[in-house]
Chains A and B, each alone.
Chain A
Amino acid sequence: MTEALAANALLYLDDVKVSFDGFKALKGLSLTIEPGEMRAIIGPNGAGKTTMMDCITGKTRPDEGEVSFEGGSIDLTKLDEATIAELGIGRKFQKPTVFESHTVEDNLYLALKSDRGPLATLFHRLSGAEAARIDELLATIKLTARRSDLAKNLSHGQKQWLEIGMLLAQEPKLLLVDEPVAGMTDAETMETAALLRRIHESGKSVVVVEHDMAFVRELGVKVTVLHEGGVLSEGSIDHVASDPRVIEVYLGR
């Protein structure tokens, strides 16, 4: 039966368990993301959101459970970060991480889908198609005017966008976006929501982890609530917001 479920899913997690020195970060987390789906994941601190992302992207090996990609055909628990990235899973960190001493342009250039081998990069020459793609991405993330600036000189929100742009440059099938609007102004938050919706509409699957309820509401997609390393509730934003267990977790008992 799990095979059947996995077969239709782009990303499939089943009964994933992770513990660190006795602390159980994930206690049997199960999650299914359909191809082309956008999903919001919320949950209080320590719910296991980041650990879940670590398991999907190969940073952490689960103690138990299944993590697979593309209809269950690829076992992600056996692969390293670089391989998983090349398979088409892009990840944005909670804290914006860009290459500070590279220009905005070069950040995208490095992220562009291409041969990642050292010899290929040593003799690589920027092609016309690549340059066009960079222009396009710069326009998408609204950083065209700052293309030659060093990334470290960008504002916090711009770094978040640049990182999303780098994700897009990889041409992934699935984007994992960790707290994309943390530290953003309201206007920036709404623009980010629009950006993610556009990405979703272009046919990519997106998993967004976020605290900001207004933002999640703005996304308007299915929501999964994590709590203490497992799924607490799942459904539309209105459904989960009225779930008494969710209310208890967020507001205390």
Chain B
Amino acid sequence: MIGYFLKNGLDARVRLALVVILAIAVLVPASNLLLPESSPFHVPTYLVTLFGKYATYAVLALALDLVWGYCGILSLGHGAFFALGGYAMGMYLMRQIGTRGVYGDPVLPDFMVFLNWKELPWYWYGFDHFAFAMIMVVLVPGILAFVFGWFAFRSRVTGVYLSIITQALTYALLLAFFRNDMGFGGNNGLTDFKDILGFNVQADGTRAALFALSCLLVALGLVLAAAIVNSKLGKVLVAIRDAESRTRFIGYRVATYKTFVFTVSAMLAGLAGALYVPQVGIINPSEFSPANSIEAVIWVAVGGRGTLVGAVVGAVAVNWGKTWFTGVLPSFWLFALGGLFVLVTLFLPKGIVGTWSEWRAKRKATPPSDAAPAPAE
């Protein structure tokens, strides 16, 4: 049953994307670790980490595309799930520091010692175990999404109202995590990580491995998302997106479906956040800022919503642009980003991949099944 389910997702385009992603996952770390620095094919470590960051963004974009592109739920708070996953990982990494912190406390992270806390708050228990932390990485965003979705979707909050309250959700979390007494490091967040599973987070080998894992997560996310959207459930999601009340009158419980896909998506975002944190070396409340979440939306829009490969392409393309701009013309990045929002919505509503497949479909008159045609609103 599950085999059929997964195989069903592997259409031609996803297979091609998988080959490319897995090739990158092997080649980039190999060139970083095996080739001498003098080689023109050597990828420096900072680039490995940068690409690793892009990969985690790509997973976030996939998660967002799953709800927005296929179910019409424009979440402006997906960054919150990403950040929660990141915090869960950050808590594990903090506990790994042990006595190597500035204050040398074997249990308490530095910021707690600084705040004069005497013991670890209960919600930090267990985070010294990697497995427990990994469960929390998916469970915490998943539960939040489930509870939020359960309430919101059952009350039929849709469209921009939903978008606005998801934004309020992440904003509320932003304010909360800024507070020192929340016990998550307040303003500064969690940082100064030393090692992960015993490997030094700064080491080239660890970074290469994290990169490969991030690529693997993109691949897994892609297969999972493709399997979902190509299943009958995926068709129901698109049906909800196009004609919600029609779907309801056929007998589908729309709220259940929305909650399901929203929760799955949040868990995927949480995993992405967990891989993001050890690579960038810090997690702080600014990850909850509404601007971050809405930026993720534009990745999906640029790549083409309703096309899973598009989400990956969009995330990498926009972030590569961001890196390039902030290096060359720092003050122009916001102009470029703002312009991108406007231009894509006005002139490229299907995004890069969506437009490409439409163009190909016109030539061949058979649309690839992964690309759910653009939604009618």
A and B directly contacting (CB within 8 A):
yes
| Complex interface: chain B residues within 8 A of A82 (CB) | 248, 251-254
B365 to chain A, nearest CB (A): 11
| Complex interface: chain A residues within 8 A of B2 (CB) | 123
Q: Which of A91, A101, A116, A125 contacts B252 (CB 8 A)?
A: A116
Q: Does B130 contact A (CB under 8 A)?
A: no
Interface hits, A71-121 → B, CB 8 Å: 80-82, 85-86, 90-91, 93, 97-102, 106, 109-111, 116-118, 121
Most buried by A among B5, B248, B260, B373: B248
Q: Does B197 contact A (CB under 8 A)?
A: no
| Complex interface: chain B residues within 8 A of A123 (CB) | 1-2, 4-5, 231
Q: Does A152 contact B (CB under 8 A)?
A: yes
| Complex interface: chain A residues within 8 A of B260 (CB) | 118
Most buried by B among A82, A101, A152: A101
In the bound complex, do residue A124 and residue B249 qualify as a contact, i.e. CB atoms below 8 Å apart?
A: no
Question: How extensive is the interface on chain A, given as a class?
Answer: 20 to 34
B260 to chain A, nearest CB (A): 5
In the bound complex, do residue B233 and residue A121 qualify as a contact, i.e. CB atoms below 8 Å apart?
A: yes
In the bound complex, do residue B254 and residue A100 qualify as a contact, i.e. CB atoms below 8 Å apart?
A: no
Q: Does B238 contact A (CB under 8 A)?
A: yes
B65 to chain A, nearest CB (A): 15
| Complex interface: chain A residues within 8 A of B233 (CB) | 118, 121-122, 124
Q: How far does the alpha carbon of A101 sit from the alpha carbon of B243 in the complex, in Å?
A: 10
B377 to chain A, nearest CB (A): 11
Q: Does A150 contact B (CB under 8 A)?
A: yes
Q: Which of A85, A121, A166 contacts B232 (CB 8 A)?
A: A121
Q: Which of A91, A102, A116, A152 contacts B238 (CB 8 A)?
A: A102
Interface hits, B326-377 → A, CB 8 Å: 372-376
| Complex interface: chain B residues within 8 A of A117 (CB) | 256
Bitwise, B215-257 to A at CB < 8 A (1) or not (0) is: 0000000000000100111011011001101111111111011
| Complex interface: chain B residues within 8 A of A80 (CB) | 253
Bitwise, A117-137 to B at CB < 8 A (1) or not (0) is: 110011111000000000000
In the bound complex, do residue A85 and residue B251 qualify as a contact, i.e. CB atoms below 8 Å apart?
A: yes
Q: Does A57 contact B (CB under 8 A)?
A: yes
In the bound complex, do residue B251 and residue A109 qualify as a contact, i.e. CB atoms below 8 Å apart?
A: no
Q: How far does the alpha carbon of A208 sit from the alpha carbon of B231 in the complex, in Å?
A: 35
| Complex interface: chain B residues within 8 A of A98 (CB) | 243, 246
In the bound complex, do residue A170 and residue B250 qualify as a contact, i.e. CB atoms below 8 Å apart?
A: yes
Residue of chain B at shortest CB distance from A91: B249
| Complex interface: chain A residues within 8 A of B5 (CB) | 122-123
Q: Which of A99, A106, A118 contacts B246 (CB 8 A)?
A: A99
In the bound complex, do residue A81 and residue B248 qualify as a contact, i.e. CB atoms below 8 Å apart?
A: yes
In the bound complex, do residue A100 and residue B231 qualify as a contact, i.e. CB atoms below 8 Å apart?
A: no
**Known: A102-B239, A152-B376. Contact between A97 and B246, CB under 8 A?**
yes
Residue of chain B at shortest CB distance from A122: B233
In the bound complex, do residue B250 and residue A100 qualify as a contact, i.e. CB atoms below 8 Å apart?
A: no
| Complex interface: chain B residues within 8 A of A122 (CB) | 5, 228, 231-233
Q: How far does the alpha carbon of A52 sit from the alpha carbon of B79 in the complex, in Å?
A: 44
Bitwise, B1-31 to A at CB < 8 A (1) or not (0) is: 1101100000000000000000000000000
Residues of B at the A interface (CB closer than 8 Å) are 1-2, 4-5, 228, 231-233, 235-236, 238-239, 242-243, 245-254, 256-257, 260, 372-376
